[in-house]
Structure 1
Amino acid sequence: MARDRHSGNSGGELGRFLRARRTRVTPADVGLPAGTGLRRTPGLRREELATIAGISVDYYARLERGTETRPSPSVIDALARALRLKEAEYRHLRELATGTDRPATGPAAVPTRSVPDGISLLLETMRPSPVYVVGRTFGLLTANPGGLRLFAGVEDWPSEQRNLARYVFLHPAARDLFDDWNAPAHSCVAWLRGLVGIEPDAPDLTGLVDELLCKSPEFARLWDRYDVEGSTHGRRIFHHPDVGDLTLGFRGMTLNGTSGQHLVAFYAEPDTPDHDAMTLLDKAAQERSSATPETVA
């Protein structure tokens, strides 16, 4: 079952993360000779990583198997250095190690889909910039007209199905819309991977991840890489059916006081072709929607 690829206790998740990262580090990356003959293990062998980290091979093997679940802070630091982890990856490793000590608290609550008071009005005042709010699993909660229409075709789905991770991997228009489809695809998977590592049984996560693992080979391939660092700002190039090509900057911001909701705003410099295209997109979107920002129930 797809669920087997992400469910289980956080000790097991710690082992999955270590294995995935170990296969991404080559001997050359850490100054080891490549040796002769064909290596059966991609990346480093267990004994190589253990030696670099300064821990016993048996202890490291227990970490990967999930039978040892309480590495000390010094061991976590040593593993992070040996695996050449980036800041977000290091933070995730620490969270996984800490999570093994947390008592079971029963079923997790499903986060609310209601946005704070005033957010929809704020999105309207930000036009013509496309702006929207997503929940922690990328469910589209509210958007101004341009924010909804930016993802061409998502408005044709029922409101409860509108999810930007689902759109990127399953909507037929997504591949044509994004100039570099891999960028949003990687960000979506990395964010979800990080969440599931900490809350493997959260119902809002498991349902979506199971669906995407079953329906999208690309999602499954990226899922197995166990990346946990997505992009919260940058630039996206769109090939939009309403206005043609446009390049927009974007920035995501956490909405304080919510259960993981994020506001994402796209923008363009004034008096540029991209700003003109963005304004046309807003007008085209207005013709498709009512005068108020659409809220997804």
Structure 2
Amino acid sequence: MNQTAQPSLDFELIADDEPDLSGLMLGQRLAIAGVLLYFVSSALTKTSLGAMALVALASFVFTLLGAIRLSGELGFSLPKRVLILLGFFVPLVNLVVLLGLNRRVTSALRDASYSVGLFGAYGDGVPKGFWLRVLLLFIALVALGKFIDSYGLHARVDGTPSLAALTADFNRETKAPRVLDDGVRLDGADVFGGDFRVRMTLLNFAGTALPPDRRIKIREVAAQNLCALPEKMRDVFTARKARFMYEMHNARGDMIAQILVSLDACAGLP
């Protein structure tokens, strides 16, 4: 009985001993992005509260996801991973935890012959496009935050409008920035140190200080403008313990005067 010869199937099994470090790379980049967004959100405090809040939220999410990814990739036990996550809710402790994780990840990546810089691992085999996506997300969050500011959607806290909402209304109604009479440019209003600040530039003035008589005149105008505000708006100043500020700049853009008035000044006005 003839038997048909079967072709021999020889497989060479090659074990892939190289560890997959993509998870470590992603976790490290998420954590670094979270830290960078945190510092950027702090810088946005004086320009847009809406953007600051959104970027700060993104910072927390990125950092938390990075910590989860890193603790898992490093093989930590479940109790230790839980402690790490809890540590991220404690100020300063979260930075210590993040620095510790990043140090271990950097060591592991360098042992695998990767170069590690300020923004994580780089070189052949490192996924591309992560930082571009972070940048696009940041731009989108800032744009959305400014949209929220401009329409006062974040305006009320405990039923009282915020100063940021008042500044957004002021800039919209006055169409700032724009040039006024007598060579004065109204640059717009914002919240500065808990006060309502109106910034203006004297286009025809190059000095470094205003004469005393002009300061007195500006203070009188500032007090009149504050006291002429509708009662509901003045209630906001009372609730927020805020003052009304005129900040003056010369033609070069140097700050030459800050005129502050409070509602107490209204007692002496007719």
**TM-score, structure 1 as length reference:** 0.20
User: Is the helix fraction higher in 1 or 2?
Assistant: 2
Which has the higher relative contact order, 1 or 2, with Cα contacts under 8 A spaced 6 or more apart?
A: 1
- TM-score scaled to structure 2, two decimals? 0.21
Computing the radius of gyration from Cα coordinates, the structure with the larger value is 2
